[in-house]
Amino acid sequence: MKIQRFSKIGFIMAAAGSAVGLGNIWKFPYMTGEYGGGAFVLVYLITIAFIGFSVMVAEMLIGALGRADTVTSFERLAPPGKKWWKYAGFMGFNGVIIMTFYSVVIGWILYYLFTIVTSGLPETTEEAKRAFNTLVGDQIAAQIFFHTVSVIIVGYIVYRGIKAGIERINLILMPALMVILFGLLLYAMTLDGFREALAFMFEPKWEKLNSEALIRAVGHSFFTLSLGMGAILTYAASLPKDASITQTAFIVTFMDTLIALVAGLVIFSFLFQFGAEPGQGPGLVFISLPTILHNFGTLGVIFALLFFLALAFAGVTSAISLVEPVVQYLIDRFHFTRGKAVLLISFIYWLVGIGALLSYTNSWGKVMSVGGKPLFDILEYTTDSILLPLGGFLISVFVGYLLPKSQLFAQIGREMGERAYRVWYFSVRYIAPLALLFMMLNLMGVIEL
């Protein structure tokens, strides 16, 4: 089997495309709003720097050395007698679980693009709330339709493969996304709300930081960097030969963080300009933002379209990286054609995705819930809080304890220099696994913070 290689810039854009997603533009701002701003942001930044970046280097390394799908890469690199480590490669399946609800949210975004074009923006918060709640609570057919459109777009790109699909689309959508977001930032900077947004995001209010916020910040740093499910690993199997893992991981981490901060600043500047509340949960982008933008007249409609377009771009480039690992696995291990693998996987998450969207509706909500929790939330919680940290834990243990030290030093030490290498090695061996273990045990209720 021959693995296609990315170009250097293609790899950076693809990995950044994976990292920069709904997590940055939708989830990060509303979490920051809910958990009170500055202190949450600070914890998030520290986790990214000390744990996220190290695990990203480790995950890229497994891909670059394994040069295959997730399962085969772990199997190849595991020492003799420990080949059962290949089962860690099943972390690739996390992506399919994430896709069940991720694709539904992309569907909402496409629906918003559509309605903004056809009927403009809502005039009052009441109206915006009603529109969002009706979509999520009652409009089953519309949701299924746009979820299906999202499945088809993502499936088609993955079907075209690493070079003609994934690399090409990322080379177009990522720069476009950045131009839109930085353009919106420039405008936001002219508003009075911008100062307030800066203060809200960067002045830590420690009293707001409870243990839940702390755990969510760590969990989110994994989600936002696409770690712990083999997306970065699978892409790194196609890393160009002479690319530096350290440098690439650094650029990707930096871009991801920058875009989350810019998205936050843009949204909060608009909100504060008109005195809106930051802590509104997942509806922040779907309810408050469109209402606020309505105040800007025609310009507001253009801003809203650009914003949701950027959100759609970010979502799609991440979604393809959620599907690719399992597709590559089916091709490598079971000799599927790419087309068949994409069809099978897409069908599975399309179907479960319908279950997820039904779990928020008034008519089916009860049926699609377990123990009073909607299926949507169960899927999100399981991946975000348990499976991704578990994946990150396995990656850091594998690289920190099972790969030969000489091999690590030969690659990462050469790239980073000895001193930085020591810090990285320490993080991968001790800080990352302990923090992740602690977090999982806490979430499962075994230990309390």
Taking CB under 6 A as the rule, does residue 264 contact ligand PFF?
no
> Comparing C-alpha atoms, which of 407, 17, 398 is closest to residue 225?
17
Of 140 and 251, which has the nearer Cβ to ligand PFF? 251
Taking CB under 6 A as the rule, does residue 233 contact ligand PFF?
no
Rule CB under 6 A: choose which of 17, 95, 264, 278 binds ligand PFF: 95
CA distance 110 to 273: 27
Residue 373 is encoded by which pair of tokens?
């929790």
12 Cβ contact partners less than 8 Å away, ≥ 6 residues apart = 248, 251, 252
Of 181 and 229, which has the nearer Cβ to ligand PFF? 229
> Comparing C-alpha atoms, which of 281, 224, 278, 280 is closest to residue 256?
224
Taking CB under 6 A as the rule, does residue 23 contact ligand PFF?
yes
Taking CB under 6 A as the rule, does residue 252 contact ligand PFF?
no
CA distance 292 to 429: 47
Of 47 and 291, which has the nearer Cβ to ligand PFF? 47
CA distance 185 to 191: 10
Q: What is the DSSP string of 84-121?
A: GGGGGGGGGGHHHHHHHHHHHHHHHHHHHHHHHHHH--
CA distance 407 to 152: 41
Q: How many residues bind ligand PFF (CB under 6 A)?
A: 16
Q: CB of residue 314 vs ligand PFF: minimum separation in angstroms?
A: 7
Q: Interface with ligand PFF by CB under 6 A: which range of 19-27, 42-50, 189-197, 302-310?
A: 19-27
Q: CB of residue 383 vs ligand PFF: minimum separation in angstroms?
A: 8
5 Cβ contact partners less than 8 Å away, ≥ 6 residues apart = 162, 238, 239, 240, 241
Q: CB of residue 220 vs ligand PFF: minimum separation in angstroms?
A: 8
Q: How far apart are the first and last CA of the chain?
A: 48
Taking CB under 6 A as the rule, does residue 150 contact ligand PFF?
no
45 Cβ contact partners less than 8 Å away, ≥ 6 residues apart = 257
420 Cβ contact partners less than 8 Å away, ≥ 6 residues apart = none
Taking CB under 6 A as the rule, does residue 22 contact ligand PFF?
yes
> Comparing C-alpha atoms, which of 283, 266, 306, 312 is closest to residue 116?
306
Of 23 and 122, which has the nearer Cβ to ligand PFF? 23
Taking CB under 6 A as the rule, does residue 48 contact ligand PFF?
no
Taking CB under 6 A as the rule, does residue 223 contact ligand PFF?
yes
Q: CB of residue 382 vs ligand PFF: minimum separation in angstroms?
A: 13
Rule CB under 6 A: choose which of 5, 15, 17, 24 binds ligand PFF: 24
Taking CB under 6 A as the rule, does residue 19 contact ligand PFF?
yes
Rule CB under 6 A: choose which of 162, 229, 327, 432 binds ligand PFF: 229
Of 32 and 226, which has the nearer Cβ to ligand PFF? 226
Taking CB under 6 A as the rule, does residue 253 contact ligand PFF?
no
Of 31 and 368, which has the nearer Cβ to ligand PFF? 31
Site string for ligand PFF, 294-333 (x = CB under 6 A): ------------------------x--xx-----------
Decide: helix, strand or coil at residue 373.
strand
Rule CB under 6 A: choose which of 10, 17, 21, 165 binds ligand PFF: 21
CB 227 within 8 A of CB 52: yes
- Cα-based angle 370, 374, 375 (whole degrees, multiple of 5): 80
Q: Interface with ligand PFF by CB under 6 A: which range of 15-23, 144-152, 208-216, 352-360?
A: 15-23
Taking CB under 6 A as the rule, does residue 177 contact ligand PFF?
no
Q: Which residues bind ligand PFF (CB under 6 A)?
A: 18-19, 21-24, 95, 98, 223-224, 226, 229, 231, 318, 321-322
